[in-house]
Chains A and B, each alone.
Chain A
Amino acid sequence: MKVRFLKLIFFCCLFFGLQAFSQTNTKAITLIVKDIQTGKGVPSTQVFLASGDELGTTDIEGKLSLNSISLGTVYFVVFSYEYSILKIKKTISKSTKELVFELSPLGQLLTEVELHNYNRELFNLKRLKPVEGTAIYAGKKTEVVLVNQIVGGLATNNARQVMAQVVGLNIFDAGDGGLQLSVGGRGLDPNRTANFNTRQNGYDISADVLGYPESYYTPANEALSEIQIVRGAASLQYGTQFGGLINFKLKKPIENREVELTSRNTVGSFGLYTNFTSLSGTIGKFSYYTYYNYKRGDGYRENSNFESHSAFAYLGYQFTKKTNISFEYTYLDYLAKQSGGLSDVQFLTNPRVKKMPRTRNWFAVNWNLFALKLEHQFSQKTDFTLNVFGLHASRKAIGFIVDYNFPEPNPFLDEDIQNQDGSFEHERDLLVGLFKNWGAEARLLSRYDINNRESVFLIGTKIYSANNTSQQGPGSKGADADFSFYTDHYPDYQNQSSFNYPNFNTAVFGENIFNISQSFSVTPGFRFEYIKTTSEGEYLDNIQGEFIEDNKTFERNIFLMGIGLSYKPDNYFELYGNISQNYRSVTFSDIRVNSPSYSVAEDIHDEKGYTSDIGIRGKLGNNLSYDAGVFGLLYQGKIGTNFTDRIGWERSNIGDALIYGVESLFDFNLKSVFWKENNNIKSTIFLNTAFTKSEYISSEFNGVEGKEVEYVPLVNLKTGAGFGYRNFMASIQYTYLSQQFTDVTNASYDATNYLSVEGAIPSYDILDLSFSYVYKKIRVETGVTNVLDNTYFTRRATGYPGPGIITSDPRGYYFTFEFKL
């Protein structure tokens, strides 16, 4: 089967490869961009087709040579920061050798509002592109957050504000300065963004893509240029998760300067201080972008202070116009104190409560990411990228969680007993995870013609090898952030285990855009994966008083398919639809046994399913852009733990769930209605809504079938308005989420609950205000978050950092001062 499959791939490559070299009806041409006043060439000017395809950037003389361009009438858009945007129609005949574009200078430095409008226009031009670099987005639901358009929440890494225009995101507002990003889409658990394949500049950043998909590191928002999101149909080209892909695109080195320094300092409520300093520049063929980010804060609650250092460096070398190589290194180190979770009663009495929450629980993360990227253009038609990346990281957590003296420990009732001399009675639980992995992903994208229509073929392969470990045991009885094991002192400690998780994965994937007509395209794709998930180690059996070995290996081949359709009669309207298979690999915690009363079913397998979208997107006139659609997600073989007939517990695939809904984003541009002529005004309104329903359609658990899936609010609404005049910008944003259940039996909200980790999250709403002002090289930003000062929470943690309610921040303020040199 495998051999036959590989043969197929081979022939496909050959076929498409041949196709790539036969083209007609095009010709080579030179574009020249000039300043209309001086007549001199304008360098670094981007030239687009009206369809959004970028033709390239002009050289130092203002010239751009194209190897092939279709004959006939062509609409061009020419864009350079110090000039007005030029939109022009040109006719290309067989005799045309060069085309001249003349740009009118703007005469003065752009105001912030003009810059925003510019970027927006440029973005609108570029969005919805079916192909970008070596990735195919045709027929998929894609969303892009333009970080430079965001007015508030950058320094605080506030995902609620930064990702406000991403549809249907459920976000855990943890109030930890954005150290941890927890977002989920379409009814998937937000915890540590584990249901998304999370990447930075195209490479994986989570602890272990398959076995431990949690993201402990996410880049500083202040360093981002874009956040790209591709929904479930991303399963073929990226990770296979149900959520899809989140890719954080960091800023590129500035092109026309050797050094640009940007420094931002922010102070905020609850002792927040952050510094973000970046250096960026291009020296000949060499370019770099690097930043350092410091964060500290006391947190809203007692015992929730944190401190973090992160740094990033991008070094790029442009060998030739066609070949670029870059190296990236990312560093993160943070230590956070965790005050534990609350019961409803504790939360309502005083969310800042000091007594019950933990006073000596700590969490530390150290993350080192390396990535080497080679980009090469074989020809105008064929692009190649190779990403080689590695991770060396650790995650450590120590703390008192529950009191094991009780047969049924309870996080809310159990007190952390302190003796009269101030020492603590109990040793703390220590969990240390080490992650070492590397991977490589190569992609080849080629354009070729079928019946004179351009088709696009993508083939890629990925290798991923991980060697992670986790160890649990007794920590010290002290209160400090001491992450060493005290097994010699407390050999009888309840929870002791030590596991290695070697994991190996290879994948081959491909997609092809077939342009059936001028406006209709079909994009089928596949992904083949070989995965070997291993867990080997031992745990302490508390009844026998000895360590028991537990070794497991799961080896499998997975074949996924998908198809996307796109009907795009013009650049202002697209109807798209897709369906693709997804799966979530069994994670290490699914297959590892750490208690004698648990077993893992012989036939436990990956969770599988499908995601599908049907939607429309585009622009109505100049004023309204929209993206609206319905989606469905079938989740099969969700893993859970249930009784076996021997009355022990067994972890197995226990049920299926269906999640479906309507999502939409509308963006109205009021400026072009009311202040059409005034380029110094910006005024927009957006409405982002998701209505999502979910149901467990079958379950081996009692009391679960027919119930709703956890963390799926029926209504998820974000709406806001932005206003700008010259260098002043303001935005207001309102967020509303309806009630969500947090457990499979749909335990309802109970204000008198002081015992249970379970219970619904009541609906909540939040209002945020943000302002920014730019004066020459100086920018100030300020804002008020949770203006209504609502007491709310977005999460009931079952483990770290709880268990229990993790409170969200009340009203808060921040102030950022930025200067550029």
Chain B
Amino acid sequence: MKKIFYCLLMVLALGSCKGGSSVADCMPDSFDRSALLTNWADNIIIPSYTLYVDELTSLQTAKDVFIETPNEQNLVLLRTEWLEAYIVWQNVSIYEIGKAENIRLRDYTNTFNVPHVKDEPETDKLTGEFVEENISSGSYDLTLSTQLRSQGFPALDYLLNGLGDTDAEILLKYTSDENAAKYTLYLDDVSNRLLSMGAEVMTDWNNGYRNTFITNDCNASTSSLNKLTNDLIFNLEKATRSAQIGTPIGYLGEPVVIPEKVQAFYKQDVSKVLLIASLTASKNLFNGKHLNSDTVGESLKSYLDELQITAVGNDLSIVLDTYYEEAISEAQKLDENFYEGISQVDIEKYRDIRESIHLIIEVLKTNMISALDIKADYSDSDGD
């Protein structure tokens, strides 16, 4: 009897060792996930960070020049550099993984609104108010979670575009205003922090994180593909759909339209450019399109194609690509200036673009992640 038992035990032990250690358990299918991750890292993510840090460095230089000589020409130059970096940021915003996730790059770089909540006036405060509070108090620690809305691109937007109605008025704040030194210091602090955060993440990618990212190619909640796919969806849902459109038009909750909540409210005429940059970045990551090149590599698209996933009688990858295209061309039709567009009460087209983006999200969240066997990892789907 004992012998039989031990035999049974051995068989079970052997059987389970075999199952437990094989690679097949870690991959749901034959697709080479590490090839996809390599393409994303080498041709999209790292180049994006490199470009982003380049842009921030130019911004930094322009800022130094402006502080040295605060004149209109230098202000215009600084503003241009700000916009260029802001556009590249729309790519970087998606890759909230590794160091970026650790230092919460997205939250500290581009939090320009929160959704309106009834009876909570704090939720409707604008970036300018937070910046002014810091400047007047003179004591602030930008690394605290209470300071998310007083720094990053939105704070620069206010400092470069929102301090007065004309450039001359803005310049006064840095020259003859009684708080001129404080405004200058704040501009310096915000700009420095933006660059140092971006550089920290880029350095991490260059110093080994790339390999960590590529080799973590299993199918678990902590695996690279699972996390970045969730990041892609999350960014499209929160940073693009909700923050840029849903929140300003008061889509969810008490229907309060607050056009001041648009992205780059103080500059005003660049909200559309930024939205299109954001949608394009998302589409390019999905398609595996190299940064600033027409070459495409392994991606979610080729993954879906290899698995031959279809939806509504077409390849799922084509369906998604088409939805992205439609959303982008829909966005092209919007006003350059979202603040004006939304203020004009004709917000129907903003609801439409929101719907178009939502359509992409819906397919990503249901059809795509279930085809790729990726579990959704964030716990909240509201916010606009």
**Which of A413, A417, A543, A714 is in CB contact (< 8 Å) with B20?**
A714
Q: Which of A135-143, A193-201, A239-247, A738-746 interfaces with chain B? A: A738-746
A1 interface residue, CB < 8 Å from B?
no
Q: Is the CB of B378 within 8 A of A545?
A: no
A590 to B383, CA, bound (A): 24
Q: Is the CB of A492 within 8 A of B122?
A: yes
B292 interface residue, CB < 8 Å from A?
no
Q: Which of A29-37, A600-608, A752-760 interfaces with chain B? A: A752-760
Q: Is the CB of B374 within 8 A of A417?
A: no
- A543/B253 contact (C-beta < 8 A), A643-B376, A702-B369, A702-B376 known: yes
A626: nearest chain-B partner, CB-CB: B2
- A543/B372 contact (C-beta < 8 A), A406-B145, A628-B5, A691-B12 known: no
A693 interface residue, CB < 8 Å from B?
yes
Q: Is the CB of B379 within 8 A of A649?
A: yes
**Which of A414, A664, A745 is in CB contact (< 8 Å) with B145?**
A414
A630 interface residue, CB < 8 Å from B?
yes
- A597/B375 contact (C-beta < 8 A), A643-B366, A647-B365 known: no
Q: Is the CB of B145 within 8 A of A405?
A: yes
What are 19 A-B residue pairs whose CB atoms fall within 8 Å in the complex?
A405-B145, A406-B104, A406-B145, A425-B144, A543-B252, A544-B253, A545-B119, A597-B382, A645-B366, A647-B365, A648-B381, A662-B12, A664-B5, A703-B219, A703-B375, A743-B220, A747-B221, A748-B26, A758-B221
Residues of B within 8 A of A407 (CB): 107, 238, 383
Chain A window 751-789, contacts with chain B (Cβ cutoff 8 Å), 1 for yes, 0 for no? 011111011000000000000000000000000000000
**Which of B107, B222, B366 is in CB contact (< 8 Å) with A406?**
B107
- A413/B122 contact (C-beta < 8 A), A628-B5, A649-B381 known: no
Residues of B within 8 A of A405 (CB): 145-146, 148
Chain A window 602-632, contacts with chain B (Cβ cutoff 8 Å), 1 for yes, 0 for no? 0000000000000010001000001010100
Q: Is the CB of B381 within 8 A of A616?
A: no
B307 interface residue, CB < 8 Å from A?
no
Q: Is the CB of B375 within 8 A of A702?
A: yes
Of B16, B220, B369, chain A has the most CB atoms within 10 Å of the CB of: B220
A575: nearest chain-B partner, CB-CB: B1
A661 interface residue, CB < 8 Å from B?
yes
B9: nearest chain-A partner, CB-CB: A662
- A662/B222 contact (C-beta < 8 A), A545-B118, A702-B374 known: no
A750 interface residue, CB < 8 Å from B?
yes
- A750/B375 contact (C-beta < 8 A), A413-B102, A545-B120, A662-B12 known: no
Chain A window 515-553, contacts with chain B (Cβ cutoff 8 Å), 1 for yes, 0 for no? 000000000000000000000000000111110000000
A488 interface residue, CB < 8 Å from B?
no
A799 interface residue, CB < 8 Å from B?
no
B8 interface residue, CB < 8 Å from A?
yes
Further 14 A-B residue pairs, CB within 8 A, beyond A662-B5, A743-B220? A407-B107, A414-B145, A643-B365, A661-B12, A664-B5, A689-B9, A693-B12, A693-B19, A744-B375, A745-B220, A748-B218, A748-B220, A753-B222, A755-B101
| Interchain nearest-CB distance for B23 vs A (Å) | 12
**Which of B5, B222, B366, B376 is in CB contact (< 8 Å) with A758?**
B222
A-B contact count (CB 8 A): 135
Residues of A within 8 A of B254 (CB): 544-545
B161 interface residue, CB < 8 Å from A?
no
Q: Is the CB of B104 within 8 A of A543?
A: no
Residues of B within 8 A of A542 (CB): 117
Q: Is the CB of A691 within 8 A of B117?
A: no
> Is chain A's binding surface mostly helix, strand, loop or mixed?
loop
Residues of A within 8 A of B362 (CB): 647
* Chain B interface, number of residues (Cβ within 8 angstroms): 58
B212 interface residue, CB < 8 Å from A?
yes
A755 to B216, CA, bound (A): 15
Q: Is the CB of A543 within 8 A of B117?
A: yes
Residues of B within 8 A of A758 (CB): 220-222
Chain A window 472-505, contacts with chain B (Cβ cutoff 8 Å), 1 for yes, 0 for no? 0000000000000000000010000000000000
Residues of A within 8 A of B365 (CB): 643, 647
**Which of B28, B107, B238 is in CB contact (< 8 Å) with A703?**
B28
Residues of A within 8 A of B16 (CB): 691, 693, 714
A714 to B379, CA, bound (A): 30
List A411-439 residues whose CB lies under 8 Å from chain B.
413-414, 417, 425
B226 interface residue, CB < 8 Å from A?
yes
Q: Is the CB of A630 within 8 A of B8?
A: yes
List B272-314 residues whose CB lies under 8 Å from chain A.
none
Residues of B within 8 A of A706 (CB): 25
| Interchain nearest-CB distance for A796 vs B (Å) | 12
B144: nearest chain-A partner, CB-CB: A417
List B142-165 residues whose CB lies under 8 Å from chain A.
144-146, 148
B380 interface residue, CB < 8 Å from A?
yes
A641 to B118, CA, bound (A): 28
Residues of A within 8 A of B383 (CB): 407
Q: Is the CB of B12 within 8 A of A543?
A: no
| Interchain nearest-CB distance for B358 vs A (Å) | 8
Residues of B within 8 A of A743 (CB): 220-221
A403 interface residue, CB < 8 Å from B?
yes
Q: Is the CB of B118 within 8 A of A544?
A: yes
Q: Is the CB of A702 within 8 A of B381?
A: no
| Interchain nearest-CB distance for A186 vs B (Å) | 14
List A391-413 residues whose CB lies under 8 Å from chain B.
403, 405-408, 413
A546 to B369, CA, bound (A): 34
A284 interface residue, CB < 8 Å from B?
no
A378 interface residue, CB < 8 Å from B?
no
List A689-714 residues whose CB lies under 8 Å from chain B.
689, 691, 693, 701-704, 706, 714
Q: Is the CB of A492 within 8 A of B120?
A: yes
A661: nearest chain-B partner, CB-CB: B12
A111 interface residue, CB < 8 Å from B?
no
A596 interface residue, CB < 8 Å from B?
yes
A571 interface residue, CB < 8 Å from B?
no
| Interchain nearest-CB distance for A330 vs B (Å) | 38
A377 interface residue, CB < 8 Å from B?
no
A595 interface residue, CB < 8 Å from B?
yes
Chain B window 230-259, contacts with chain A (Cβ cutoff 8 Å), 1 for yes, 0 for no? 000000001000000000000011100000
Residues of A within 8 A of B226 (CB): 703, 745
**Which of B28, B146, B361, B378 is in CB contact (< 8 Å) with A647?**
B361
Q: Is the CB of A545 within 8 A of B117?
A: yes
A753 to B216, CA, bound (A): 12
| Interchain nearest-CB distance for B328 vs A (Å) | 21
A641 to B375, CA, bound (A): 11
B73 interface residue, CB < 8 Å from A?
no
Residues of B within 8 A of A756 (CB): 221-222
Residues of A within 8 A of B345 (CB): none
| Interchain nearest-CB distance for A621 vs B (Å) | 12
Of A408, A702, A704, chain B has the most CB atoms within 10 Å of the CB of: A702
A630 to B118, CA, bound (A): 59
Chain A window 327-364, contacts with chain B (Cβ cutoff 8 Å), 1 for yes, 0 for no? 00000000000000000000000000000000000000
**Which of A546, A642, A662 is in CB contact (< 8 Å) with B8?**
A662
